[in-house]
Structure 1
């Protein structure tokens, strides 16, 4: 069943607060990175303004501010001396002059001329037409390329210096960008590292009930896939979005700095982008949630299929399993296609459209200004503005490209924080003295689901050192009693006491310190036989490991292994037989010398010979230790001090083996049936 839920505004705010909380853990690095980002954006945006100065002040400016002086001018032409008005150094000015560029070349006009307009030259007469205005200038002189170079020469040094400054700023911006990316990426990795550790730590505090009700694949998906998506959020999405926002703000400021009128025209992009983002979120949110849910479902099915592959192949269910996975995979593909279409529609296509619209608006604005007022924008301002228009749509593109990953990251974050919000049991460092082993179930009732009790009014007293056996049909409540004893669950009603203490009032870890358990399905970790027995506890010596192995009869096959207790164990102990895995798990429980030992059908996976060895060992090992045994083989519990027969969550018979046989009830019939089966076999 695919998870169907949406991220409502309240949960969205909570998720964002949690993400910000993690970011605060590395706030210094993030702050420094963002500072470098501001500086880098400033350095990049200074470039077009420098280009504007080069064009207006040193290239196009050849037509402006020239005067004829008595002497000492920087340019000599036809025996006369000329200088720019801005560079006069005490020279006597004779008259203002103008340098004019037309389609025929450059000309010197011996007076100031009207700016802009259409220019025509006829002999030594220049005519300029602008709208209804026309002006005529006589005695103009044509300039050769050498003459033009003289007039430009005074500006070459400034052009070279400003160009050099432009290159330096670009290199400076590149260095700053490298620094901010390193800082932000390192911060992102630290955040996700901490996040994964928090999830792993919290997982170990969540009650077993959660894992019984949640597929393992979905949990794994949240710890791995979802945290990877969140890493991308910090690593790329937020950095790019923030950089883009800073760039947009910087560009708008630069546009106002160039020309207030152009800046006001450019403000129209802000509501357009806001509406754009709102529309994208509206159409993408649902599909992003579905994608993350489908990925989790596929992980869950894949995990289940791998674990049950022998059954799948034995019953020839490969095609059925494949079809189920293919259905989810196809659904995921179709949902991603919808997102892809949305991205394609609302990213580059619209960006190009708006960019062209902005340039068209600029052309219209310049034309209207020129025709209406006669005032024209300089070529440098136009160049810088067009550059800024191109730059302002780059961050818009970046923001739009990050909307889908941002949405997915918020979904992943919400799923992960839901896991972190699962109520866990606080890990306490408090430890208790070793239990004596006095266990009492006082009128205990327990339900996995409300209204469906699996244990009802259980009364049980196990004195220290006693062995209590639980028997009954499947679902009678045997394992539930063990779950309560191990504090995997707590009673719904009644009290469970150990040594007179209510276990629900004690730290869970402190209780489990003195309990050992062997399950019917033994689990071995990847490592060695030693690490599987000691579980990494370095205080347990090799001598203790061998002693525990010998006590359960596991030393026979361990000694035959090439590396003994250092023999590698692959995942789930697949290289060992089920009986060998069970013996190692039995040794694991014994090496910690628990006050209370739980054997949950622990001999079900061993052969009769191995079972006999374990029974011999138990006679010594259970001395001074309270032992609870769940067994289907009644021959293994003949020596138990108490045998409790359960049926539908109630104790219907109790006593030792002999008394129950004499009673002739359910236990006696079970024993008789098993005895006949053993005789036949």
Structure 2
């Protein structure tokens, strides 16, 4: 992933920087509190448990809680003797194997007991043997030496539990704030992507299957969500923990902590290696996933055709090619993750512990440095904790790479050139339309409209006829500014449409398509499109005006009847009437009917004709029609062939010319007669 994508992902993270910063502060506090545990344990072990194996002083009075009574003597640990205490004699409590001995004098903690008889104890001390006075301490009496330690141990354990509970509270707020921030970031990103889609030119949707675009909005943003929800938290968590652990290690043993720092460049190199390969694999996986979505979407929509033409096997084979490619690259990702994830962390962990044992063991054997049990415990605990965030970070590398690739794909969509969206002001449009030498090509130099010029006056009905590919729909596309012509000018009320934004042009134009699109919702919401400017009464009036009330009022909930995807419960004619009512409710000055009666049966056509007369009142209408019977009353009929106007006039004028229009009319008339005869 290029750096710009990383910066943009970071920029999105900064949109919730307040919550993220508070969350990070909570994380740092929680880490500090949690990492205090081994240090507290070290003090409990070294100072209060193993610490009793120390020098003891006989005092003349039992005047505080640090003094114990043993065999008619008052004893106190030497490190707790005060100046006012009267010291009588020195003793050493020494452990040798599983037994404890109280020996007169100060004896080194590394000494071992060889034998104990008749009040004399033989000890080995640095390869030398000597006899000292002392006695073995019975197990029942040993608890006496630990009595002064009970209270501080309890206090330290309570402190540790308290710190853990406080850390849990900060962990909760950290998790809550970071999760909320992550979901807020993705919400904002999805809004941006959807807004971008609405601004994209029509050509973008023509060139790409819907499934691929949907994958960008859903699957890719979901992968990015995982980046902010899990990956970011894991990495921040891990690095804060590792920083805290290294600080603690340096406090315990700077030389060994310095050696452990080698883990940082190892982790960095590891991530660079993984990124190089995983990025390539994930790009293929994400792209193939989009193609799979597109294939499934197309197959579901075309299932009647697939089954009717018995193409299920071929469709399955085409899908299997994509599915197999996805599987192959997923397998490569799994292989890469298996080689560079948990197993490798375990290997490094094992090497680190061998180095740890060698370091402390050699120091102890040489006598240069005696390691206390508390230090040993704390270091092992911290070293174990050090590899936990490393494991979590490494395990999140696959998700990180998926998010990087997905981010690149999302930003690629966000970087697409969009149409300008300007403010839309209410305009009083009369509906005067003029084309001046308009030429247009979808692809370079492949013109579908050639030097078209015509004029439609306000309130007129103009019809466009011609064979498939003659340019009828292309005229509507450039008028609606789905596309812009390469040459010439299009004027509405004498104003060049290129001087206005697309929204300003489209505000005064309505359209009824050959295959009307019905949205999921209710009958009424499909008329208003949730526009607050269109009231319920206005929408119902529009439905009644086009005759749609005849079937709507038979529905269980009538105008509030739920509508499924694309209005599949309605017939083609009923959907067309809903589309007519929608156009009437929005009351445009110019209305385009794009082959609105092409798929209608003869009976329904009569209802549609009546609806068209209602729509035509006080507005300019442009009609694309295959059925010439529906346009006989048009004010002018324009006959097209290969993007050029070859005839123009009224129905009767064109029949009198006996040209292309006459031939088309005769063909349709002959077909109608044949049908009637049958």
SS of aligned partner of 1:75 = strand
Which residue, out of 172, 182, 186, partners 1:188?
Answer: 182
SS of aligned partner of 1:521 = coil
Which residue, out of 118, 123, 127, partners 1:127?
Answer: 123
SS of aligned partner of 2:144 = helix
Inter-partner Cα distance in structure 2 for 1:389 and 1:488: 64
Which residue, out of 399, 402, 415, partners 2:396?
Answer: 402
Aligned to 2:659: 665
In the alignment, is residue 459 of structure 1 matched against residue 453 of structure 2?
yes
Inter-partner Cα distance in structure 2 for 1:116 and 1:265: 28
Task: Indicate conservation of the 8 Å contact 1:119/1:129, yes or no.
Answer: no
TM-score using structure 1 length: 0.94
Task: Indicate conservation of the 8 Å contact 2:116/2:136, yes or no.
Answer: no
More moved, 506-515 vs 248-257: 506-515
In the alignment, is residue 500 of structure 1 matched against residue 490 of structure 2?
no
Task: Indicate conservation of the 8 Å contact 1:15/1:413, yes or no.
Answer: yes
Aligned to 2:54: 64
More moved, 33-42 vs 75-84: 75-84
Question: Structure 2 vs 1, CA of residues 104 and 499 (structure 1 numbering), >3 Å: closer, same or farther?
Answer: closer
Query: C-alpha offsets along residues 391-432 of structure 1, whole Å, 9 cap, x if unaligned?
Result: 000000000011111111121122122222222234333314
Question: Structure 2 vs 1, CA of residues 576 and 616 (structure 1 numbering), >3 Å: closer, same or farther?
Answer: closer
Aligned to 2:311: 317
The gaps in structure 1 that reach 5 residues or longer are 1-6
Query: C-alpha offsets along residues 620-641 of structure 1, whole Å, 9 cap, x if unaligned?
Result: 5424311111111122222222
Inter-partner Cα distance in structure 1 for 2:245 and 2:640: 78
Q: How does 1:618-637 map to 2 (within 5 A)?
A: 618-619=612-613, 621-637=615-631
Query: C-alpha offsets along residues 577-615 of structure 1, whole Å, 9 cap, x if unaligned?
Result: 111111110111112211001000011122223323333
SS of aligned partner of 1:204 = helix
Question: Structure 2 vs 1, CA of residues 542 and 140 (structure 1 numbering), >3 Å: closer, same or farther?
Answer: closer
Inter-partner Cα distance in structure 2 for 1:557 and 1:226: 43
In the alignment, is residue 485 of structure 1 matched against residue 479 of structure 2?
yes
Task: Indicate conservation of the 8 Å contact 1:438/1:462, yes or no.
Answer: yes
In the alignment, is residue 14 of structure 1 matched against residue 4 of structure 2?
yes
Deviation at 1:667, TM superposition (A): 1.9
Deviation at 1:17, TM superposition (A): 2.2
Aligned to 1:108: 102
Which residue, out of 2, 24, 32, partners 2:22?
Answer: 32
Root mean square deviation, CA, Å = 2.0
Query: C-alpha offsets along residues 144-193 of structure 1, whole Å, 9 cap, x if unaligned?
Result: 12332222211121111111212222222222212211111111222222
SS of aligned partner of 2:199 = coil
SS of aligned partner of 2:300 = helix
More moved, 653-662 vs 319-328: 653-662
Q: How does 1:361-380 map to 2 (within 5 A)?
A: 361-380=355-374
In the alignment, is residue 82 of structure 1 matched against residue 75 of structure 2?
yes
Question: Structure 2 vs 1, CA of residues 584 and 372 (structure 1 numbering), >3 Å: closer, same or farther?
Answer: same
Q: How does 1:297-446 map to 2 (within 5 A)?
A: 297-446=291-440
Task: Indicate conservation of the 8 Å contact 2:210/2:294, yes or no.
Answer: yes
Give the paired residue count.
669
Deviation at 1:78, TM superposition (A): 4.0
Aligned to 2:648: 654
Question: Structure 2 vs 1, CA of residues 64 and 514 (structure 1 numbering), >3 Å: closer, same or farther?
Answer: same
TM-score using structure 2 length: 0.94
More moved, 576-585 vs 113-122: 113-122
Inter-partner Cα distance in structure 1 for 2:496 and 2:293: 40
Aligned to 2:233: 239
More moved, 406-415 vs 337-346: 337-346
Deviation at 1:140, TM superposition (A): 2.7
Q: How does 1:137-152 map to 2 (within 5 A)?
A: 137-152=131-146
In the alignment, is residue 49 of structure 1 matched against residue 36 of structure 2?
no
Which residue, out of 269, 272, 291, partners 2:263?
Answer: 269
Task: Indicate conservation of the 8 Å contact 1:525/1:570, yes or no.
Answer: yes
Task: Indicate conservation of the 8 Å contact 2:54/2:109, yes or no.
Answer: no
Inter-partner Cα distance in structure 2 for 1:652 and 1:412: 51
The gaps in structure 2 that reach 5 residues or longer are none
In the alignment, is residue 564 of structure 1 matched against residue 558 of structure 2?
yes
